[in-house]
Structure 1
């Protein structure tokens, strides 16, 4: 199927062609026609599946079919959980709308509001925003949502995880009841279904990939190692493998900072990205990583959510997450779009329960090795069967089942 067969206009097709896209992804095939028909949509799709175009293209077309007024009130709102995702959605939307005459803008916290407010005053058709900054500017009467015709909640599951549910409900209350609503989430968890039921009207349900397909292109491996030797081992892997683009995950912000500094001392270009970093620092680090100026990006889970890094070959879990579903998010950043990828986890004795929880979630054993010179001295004790020491999960007991389905989708 071609983009033209989906019912998109020649103006949009020109923008798509300029970006080098020729064939729509599965989520685009399913979502675009439904949106163009004016239907509410509940979609299951992760970053890397082409979901942004799945909602941006039809919204741009619907908006461009109506007269553009001189004042340009906000007619379409896209809510995202993180600054990085907001910036990426804005960049893509602006490129798609290049030949339509529509204006797009992005607002998020972590930076001064002056330039964002100035941009809003010029008139905006499509606004991409994080909930906190949006409500802040609305309360200052610097923007209005009374003429919004289209609402998109992007990565709604992560917004719920980050505690944005009250903000989301507040935003919805500020908009007209009659509008077209689109909700994109990695899973259809009970929480997401409950949220969808509050504002979606008889939605069309679409998914980015059929259930039970596997991520064959992600090669997963565990190295058993003492905690004290993890830094030395990861440096050895990077140097000997001559790796130049590695995304490393830590559990904490301070841990990310310390590890990035240790890489730098070993002449490995590295930067940390987490919630305590300024937006400018995060943007600079990500751009440097994408261009190759930075070889290693050390990140926490929340900061990395929404990062879309094409052709990422290596993901390393310096520490395993205590929530198995977060492991799925982490390794899903490699092995995308037909490219092979490697996901390595450095596991110390105190993390065995986390490893078993991940394996149970994935219904598979992950290949485990011990490297010469890094033989662990700590006992690798198994969790007790009675408690199973299952890592505490956030957001309810059904997340493991949904995470398993997500892992099985091709990234």
Structure 2
């Protein structure tokens, strides 16, 4: 089918034609008719499936027909980046409609706050907001939601994870009971279903399988020691002139550390929650415009950032949640384009990686270490014991040109020692607890190593 099958208003269809929209994605094909019928909806669809258009297009069509000019739709999103993105898409779709929208989010200065309040006073048919900022406006009496016809929750699972469930229930208390409520979530755990029962009325359900990555993504992995990761990233980025790359790290401390290492050689920026909102917007704009080629961040950019043309995604750390892997990889191969995803897997993360392969239903290609690098840990998959052996091994690589030096392995290059990286077992300042073992390509462990602080500072097992 094509978009003309939905019988949208001519002005909306004209906008779709101008933007090159021809055939709907599976989630659009299933969700749009339900929303047009004014039924409540629970939809499960992952990043990159076109879900924003799935809920915005039918709502715009209904607003265009009614022509009331009042506040009609509230879209709640977990992050300011996603709120801005949704607002931008609304502006594109409604170009020939004359429908206006306002993004409401925190993190800005007093000027931004005043601009948002003034925009609300001027009026708009659609408000796209983060829950926290909207609560503040409601408490101050700056927004009237009594005319609302549609409530849309995007990335509902993330909002639950971020602790917004109570805020959402408070917001719902300000809304008319006679409304249409639409909930989109990338995953559908039991807590989402239980929450949906509180705010939805006899909803229809649609689910697009989460475990599938785009067909155009070439996926592979390297089995590595932690100490090899930085140099391996440098090696990969040096192989060709990439126009758009995203590197995902597990914590903002790692983001900052890797940025310091790579910025001397590449056009790169770090994206994390410690940045001011204006800086985050500048970085994202530069990345979209290809002024910045490489972006390093946490999972804060794995969802809700719509950038077409990402050539390469590198998982510097294996995602803890298999579904997060799908969202990260979903940044590339969008809009029927091709892309590549490479994941670094240390020994303690091998079981995590095995769960990823189980979710996506395929075995990801194992890459051999490039020439000049020492072997990483043997990949055992589910048979590995998480946290045992080699997770913090400094690993290392051989200097190029010395790979045939009588078969002897080189120690870490001086650069890594100078930067405070973890020392190898043979150079530890603590006395060995037992007789040193011979060097081997097998994973090595050391209590001394695991107790030393990382060069990134205190490590955390939580995302930004």
Q: TM-score range by the shorter chain?
A: 0.7 to 0.9
* Paired residues of 2:47 and 2:327 also in contact (CA < 8 A): no
Which structure 1 residue ranges, 5 or more long, are not aligned?
391-411
CA drift at 1:365:
3.3
State the partner residue of 1:196: 196
- Find out whether 1:93 has 2:77 as its counterpart: no
Counterpart CA distance in 2 for 1:117 and 1:57 is 26
**Cα-to-partner distance string for 1:323-353 (whole Å, 9 max, x where unaligned):** 3322222112222332222111122334333
Partners of 1:320 and 1:347 within 8 A in 2: yes
**Pair 313,340 (structure 1): closer, same or farther in 2 beyond 3 Å:** same
Partner residue of 2:227?
A: 228
Distance in 1 (CA, whole Å) between partners of 2:122 and 2:290 is 36
- CA shift, 1:381, in A, is 7.6
Q: Structure 1's 212 and 263: CA in aligned 2 closer, same or farther, altered over 3 A?
A: closer
- 1:169-318 equivalent positions in 2, closer than 5 A: 169-207=169-207, 209=208, 215-266=214-265, 268-318=266-316
CA displacement, residues 134-189 of structure 1 (integer Å, 9 cap, x when unaligned): 11111121112222111000111111122211111111111111101111112332
TM-score by length of structure 1 reads 0.87
Structure 1 residue 200: Cα displacement: 1.6
More displaced, 287-296 or 380-389? 380-389
Distance 1:304 1:279, change over 3 A: farther
The answer as to 2:46 corresponding to 1:49 is no
Alpha-carbon deviations, 1:38-91, whole Å to 9, x = none?
11122122232221121111111212222435xx3x221000111111111101
Q: CA deviation at 1:123?
A: 0.9
The alpha-carbon distance between structure 1 residues 347 and 187, as it changes in their structure 2 partners (threshold 3 A), is: closer
Higher relative contact order (CA 8 A, sep 6+): 1
Which structure has the bigger radius of gyration?
Answer: 2
Q: Is 174-183 or 26-35 further displaced after alignment?
A: 26-35
Q: Quick one: distance in 2 between partners of 1:97 and 1:354?
A: 43
Distance change >3 Å, CA 156–CA 212, structure 1 → 2:
closer
Q: Aligned match of 1:81 in 69, 78, 84?
A: 78
Whole-angstrom CA distance in 2 between matches of 1:6 and 1:334: 29
Counterparts of 1:150 and 1:78 in 2: how far apart (Å)?
8
* Alignment map for 1:75-154 (pairs within 5 Å): 75-112=72-109, 113-154=113-154
Instruction: Provide the C-alpha distance between the structure 2 equivalents of 1:365 and 1:386, rounded to a whole number of angstroms.
Output: 17
CA shift at 1:98, angstroms?
2.5
**For residues 211 and 222 of structure 2, what CA distance do their matches in structure 1 show?**
27
> Contact conserved, 2:211 with 2:359, CA < 8 A, in 1?
no
1:6 Cα deviation from its structure 2 partner:
0.4
Aligned partner of 1:409 in structure 2 is: none
5+ residue gaps, structure 2, are 389-464
Aligned residues: 384
The whole-number CA distance in structure 2 between the counterparts of 1:215 and 1:21 is 19
User: Do the aligned residues in 2 keep the contact of 1:44 with 1:185 (CA within 8 Å)?
Assistant: yes
Instruction: Report the equivalent of 2:351.
Output: 353
Distance 2:382 2:200 in 1: 45
Separation in 2 of the partners of 1:278 and 1:93? 25
Task: Provide Cα deviations, 1:187-227, integer angstroms capped at 9, x if missing partner.
Answer: 332222212222222222223x4687664322221112332
